[in-house]
Amino acid sequence: MPKPMRAAILAEGSAALQVEELRDPRPKRGEVLVKVSACGLCHTDLHVIKGEVKFPRPAVLGHEISGIVEDVGEGVTNVKVGDRVVCPFIMPCGECHYCVQGLDNLCEKFFTLNRLQGKLYDNDTRLFKQDGSPVWMYSMGGLAELAVVPSSAVFKAPDNIPLHESAVLGCAVFTAYGAVKNSANLRGSESVAVIAAGGVGMSIVYLSSLMGAYPVIAVDISEEKLAMAKELGATHTLNPSKEDVVKEISAITDGRGVDVAFEALGNPNTFATALNSVRDGGRVVVVGIAPVGVEGKLELIRIVRREVKIIGSYGARTRTDMPAILKLAGGGLIKPERLVTDKFALEEVNEGFSRLSRGQIKCRAVVKIG
C-alpha cells in the first residue's frame, strides 16, 4: 500500500475543505512529482468552492505552486530530483492544434480534460483516496504535500528567489504577464487603468509600471489595497465608492481615456467601468474570471464607430512566458515577495479562502505546505 500524503479535499456538497490523507501519487511518463512548498489562493478556486464554476468532486484545488522535485517520470529531462521549481497553472499538452502554434493558454487537452474533468492527459487522475476511489485535480491539485505536474509546466527556479513566495509567479504574475504582454501588447508610456486590485490586478499594476506605462491608475474599493498599489507602481488611485471613476480617469488623461483598461474581477460593473474608461481606439482587456452565465453589456455603435477593442486574456503562454518571468525574477526586476501579503498553514486553508472571499487579502495569500 503506498504511503499517505496530506491534501485539502473539496467534497461533494461541501463549501469547506477538509485535510485528509490520500495515497502517495506517482508520476507517469513525461510527468514530475513535486514536493509542494507553497500554493497560492486564487479567486478561481473560490468560484469552484462556491459552485459558480462546475468541477467534479471530490477534488484537490490549488493551481500555482512552488516546490522541490521529488521524482520524475520516464522521458523527463528538463528538471531533476532536488531542483527548486515553479509550476504555472496552464499545463500544455504540446500536441494539440493550439499548442503546436505556441498558444499554450488555449490548449485543448488542458481545457477539456483538466479544467472540465480534473484529469491529466492519459484521461485519469493521479490522486486517490485510501480505498482507491479517485480524487480530481484542479490543474496539478496544489493544495497537497505532493503534486504531479506534466513536465511542460515545471520550471527550475533561480536560486536567488524565495521559494514559498515564488508560488505566485505561477498564476497571479503569470496571468498578469499574459494580459500585459500578449493581450494588451502594452507599449512604454501608454496609459493604463486596472479595475480591481486583487492578486492579478495588483500584478498588472506592478508589471505595467515596470514596462514604463504612464499613468498607471489603480481602481478598487479598498483603501488598503490602493495604498499597496501605490507601492507597486500605481501613479494614481481611485475608489469607486467615493468618486466617479470614469470622470476622474477622463480628467487624468486630458479627456481622452486610457490606452488600455484591464478588468481584473469578472463582474459586469467593473467591465462597464473598464469599457467606459478607454479612449477611442483603446483596448479593454478582460482578465477576471466570472461565474458561468455572467454577462457584460456594451454599446455596439461605440465599439464600431470608435474602434474600441475588447480582448479576452487567459493566463500566458507557458513554454515561452514562464521562462521570461523567471528570468525577470532572477534578475530582481520582479520580486514575488512584494506580492505575498498573507500566509497560512494547510490546516488554515478555509480561513484563507474565507478572508479572500471577504476581500481581506491585500494582494496574494499562499498556503505554506513544505
Please report which residue ranges of 253-366 form alpha helices under DSSP H.
Answer: 268-275, 300-305, 318-330, 349-357
Give the C-alpha separation, 264 to 271, whole Å. 9
Q: Which CATH architecture fits 4-171+316-368? A: Alpha-Beta Complex (3.90)
Within this chain, domains 4-171+316-368 and 174-312 share the same CATH topology: no
Do 171 and 201 touch, CB atoms closer than 8 A? no
Q: Is the pLDDT of residue 263 over 80?
A: yes
Do 332 and 205 touch, CB atoms closer than 8 A? no
Topology classification of domain 174-312? Rossmann fold (3.40.50)
Q: What is the grid cell recorded at 151?
A: 513536465
According to DSSP, residue 227 is labeled H
Q: What pLDDT, on the 0 to 100 scale, is given for residue 74?
A: 98
What percentage of the chain has pLDDT greater than the value 90? 97
Do 303 and 275 touch, CB atoms closer than 8 A? no
Q: What is the grid cell recorded at 229?
A: 498599489
Over the stretch 38-89, which tens digit does the pLDDT of each residue have? 999 999 999 999 999 999 999 999 999 999 999 999 999 999 999 999 999 9
pTM for this entry: 0.96
Q: What pLDDT, on the 0 to 100 scale, is given for residue 117?
A: 98
Q: What pLDDT, on the 0 to 100 scale, is given for residue 2?
A: 54
Domain boundaries, the chain: 4-171+316-368, 174-312
Q: Is the pLDDT of residue 14 over 60?
A: yes
Q: Is the pLDDT of residue 292 over 90?
A: no
Q: What pLDDT, on the 0 to 100 scale, is given for residue 370?
A: 83
According to DSSP, residue 131 is labeled T
Helix, strand, or coil (residue 231): helix
Q: Is the pLDDT of residue 329 over 70?
A: yes
Q: Is 222 exposed, middle or buried (0-12, 13-18, 19+ CB in 10 A)?
A: middle
Helix, strand, or coil (residue 165): helix
For CA atoms 106, 183, 42, 33, the dihedral sign is positive
pLDDT confidence tier of residue 333, bands split at 50, 70 and 90:
very high
Over the stretch 128-149, which tens digit does the pLDDT of each residue have? 999 999 999 999 999 999 999 9
